[in-house]
Amino acid sequence: MEIQPYLFFDGRCDEAIAFYQGALGAKLGMLMRFKQAPEPGMVQPGSEDKVMHARLDIGATTILLSDGRCLGQPNFQGFALSLTVPDAVEAERLFEALGDGGEVRMPLGKTFFSPSFGMVADRFGVIWMVYVAA
């Protein structure tokens, strides 16, 4: 059994895919646009070219994405994605990349449970916990 996060970017999914490809080296596994839906009634006018479903592979993890209702206001609350990396150098690199255009919630630094841990909300509002296992 696997649990895969499904993130709705509310009209900014193409931008998010490009951002995660650059910041995390994500690989696009598949992408389907609303205009490819089997039932045309599913498509809201003006959203035909928006992402209905996409899959990104980041390391050994799969994240699913969509533009959802395409209102342009993604809202991510009540969760964070934890990114475990091998060392502090990689933690710094990915923390900076994810934080480009975002907001640092907890600066990257040594904690009682990790030699390098920090929290950053990316430019879409997704919260990432970058973590080096002790």
Count of structural domains within the chain: 2
Q: Is residue 86 part of a domain?
A: yes
Specify the pTM. Answer: 0.93
CATH of the domain at 104: 3.30.720.110
Q: Is residue 75 part of a domain?
A: no
Q: What is the mean pLDDT of residues 35-54?
A: 85
Q: What kind and span of H or E run contains 107?
A: strand 103-109
Together in a domain, 59 and 94: no
Together in a domain, 55 and 101: no
Together in a domain, 56 and 97: no
Residue 89: CA atoms inside 13 Å, Cβ hemisphere, count? 0
Together in a domain, 62 and 87: no
Q: Is residue 13 part of a domain?
A: yes
The DSSP letter of residue 44 is P
Residues linked to residue 28 through DSSP beta bridges, in sequence order? 56
Tell me: the pLDDT tens digits for 107-133?
999 999 999 999 999 999 999 999 999
Domain that holds residue 61: 6-66
Tell me: the pLDDT tens digits for 59-101?
999 999 999 888 778 889 999 999 999 999 999 999 999 999 9
Beta carbons within 8 Å of 17's beta carbon, 6+ residues apart: 26, 28, 31, 51, 54, 56, 65
Does the structure show a pLDDT above 80 at 28? yes
